[in-house]
Structure formats: structure tokens, C-alpha cells
Structure 1
Amino acid sequence: MNNILDIVKDLMEISIKKGLKISSAESCTAGLISKYLTDLPGSSKFFNSGIIVYSNESKNSLLNVSSELISNKGAVSKDAVIEMSHGLIEKTNSDIVVSVSGVMGPSIEQNEDKVGDVWFCWSSKTVDKAEFKKLYGDRESNRQEAAKIAILGLYDFIRAL
């Protein structure tokens, strides 16, 4: 299962079999997860929606991530990705949401020790699973790796339901 499209194919099959609609809330991956989830024909049978919430303002206005949470804990935090998932479930009535927020780097605005920090969340209407990963590549390889981690985690999350 090293090829991302092989994983997506298996994910699509299990999601359709279980009758699940999936959505993604993406910050640092900027739509890459949604792109992969819709690369195969038939994806409309399981993929509901994808939203890019790159700025803190969009996380707040589109997914109801509280400004206070972002100020106190940061947009790249466990609580932020959980709120992103909950916000998208509420807006779309999807069965499962994957959300991701991280620092892909490099940036003069960010602390260099934060580059590569990524939080993921996989949520149903009753269960959340959040996970932190530290990535060590350049900006593009970090985005690719984050998308792959998100999709693998989504597959595992759905299999466990």
C-alpha cells in the first residue's frame, strides 16, 4: 500500500460499502487530500466536500474554530484540528471528516522549530482521533507526506468503525 492511489482505491471501496460520505478540512495541504480522494472515477459515491481553510480567519469564519482557541493554543494544535473536523461535520453532515493543520516552512514569520509540525484529526459524529507528526522535508515533500498520512489515517479510522 505504498502508492497513494492504491490506498484511495481501498478507501473508496470500504467507504462505499459502509455507506459513508467523507469530507476534508485542509490548511497546510491546501486541497491535496481532496485532490487525491477524487483522482479515481466514482469518487462522488463517497467524497462529499473539501474545504481549504488556510488562514486563521477562514478557520474561524468557515468552520467555527474559535478565535480564542487560535490565540491561546494556536491554529496548529490538537484542539484546532478537532474543532475544524466538528465544524465541517456540522456544515456538511458528512459521516467522516479528516482535518489537517501544520507548518510546511520555511518562513521568516514562523519559528524554525515549528516547521514540520502537523496535527491531524479524523472524526465521525461521535469519535475523534487526533495525532501529531513532525515532518523533516522541504515544503513540497512535507505537503505530500502530510496528505499521505491523512489518507492512511482516514483508511485506518474507517476500517475501525
Structure 2
Amino acid sequence: MKGIIFTEFMELVEQQFGLEVLDEVLEMSGDEGIYTAVGSYDHKDLVKLIVNLSKKTNIDATTLQQVFGKTVFKTLLASIPPTASIGTSSTTFQFLRHVEDYIHVEVKKLYSDAHPPQFDFISETETEMIMDYQSARCMSNVCLGLIEGCAEHFGESVRVQMTPQMEDGSLVRFNLTVS
């Protein structure tokens, strides 16, 4: 997993809960907290940080993942070059298609060791999109937050229903409805 995800997570924890909580979560996790935005790290370290933040704050880990996804959307959006085709998106659905067709492709080109999640689009109308999220990292709640952040960015009201397709959470179907 790319380091930008780790650095953004730690920044969010510090902003929302304070440096003392971040230090305690890092200590609970046996983590020194030294990450660079372009480095690659084991996603299990992020999971451990989220679980320990949950223990420390008594906030459900899935909720923390969702909030993190929504928050990190703006940072990831800002990192996209202005000349990228994804910049022509004007709706949440268009943007999500571009994530799979552009961002995930570019990430793989830049970082041969990267394994971004895969979006498989099942069906789409003007108001409904059904897509599968597939990732060995099982972080569909981060994906949910990213979708919510995306919808907010485009000023759309999007209702999202998640249905696990695999028991381990590695495959989740998202049914998105614009209202």
C-alpha cells in the first residue's frame, strides 16, 4: 500500500484526536510512524493502526475506515495531474469509471509492486450504478468513504448499499443510487 495512505491517516488522527492519541495508537501498534508518501508498506500495518485507534477512541473500526476514506478523497483528487482525463468527470459515476480506467492503471505503471483494488462495473444507468470492489486488503469501508467524498465533491446525493460477496470482505458489491 502506498505511503500517502499512511501519512494521510496519521494526519487525520492528529487533527481529529490530537498528537497524544496518535502517539498512543502508534505505541499500541508497535509502529514508529515513519512513512513517506511514495514508499510502499504492508496494508496490515494500517489495519493495525485503525484497530488500535478504534480501541483507543471506542469508535467502530468500520466507521473510522469510512471517515478516513471520505477525508482522503480530497488529497487523492488534488494529486491528479490537471491534464488527466479523469479531470473531465462531472459526476460520481464518471469519476468512478475513471478511477478504474485511469488512476489504477497509472498507479500500476508508476509502481510495479502496487496492487490497487479492482472495480468491476456490472450495470449503469443515469441514476444507478452497480459495481464490485475486489481487494485482498478487504477495505471496502474505505472505498465507501471515498465514494461519499466523491459524491460530496460533485454535489450529488448518492445512496450506497454494500453487500459482501465473499465472507472475508475481499469482494463487495456496491449499489449506488443518485437521488
Q: TM-score, normalised by structure 1?
A: 0.32
Say which one has the larger Rg.
2
Bigger relative contact order, structure 1 or 2, given CA contacts below 8 A and separation 6+? 1
Q: Which structure has more helix as a fraction of its residues?
A: 2
Q: TM-score, normalised by structure 2?
A: 0.30
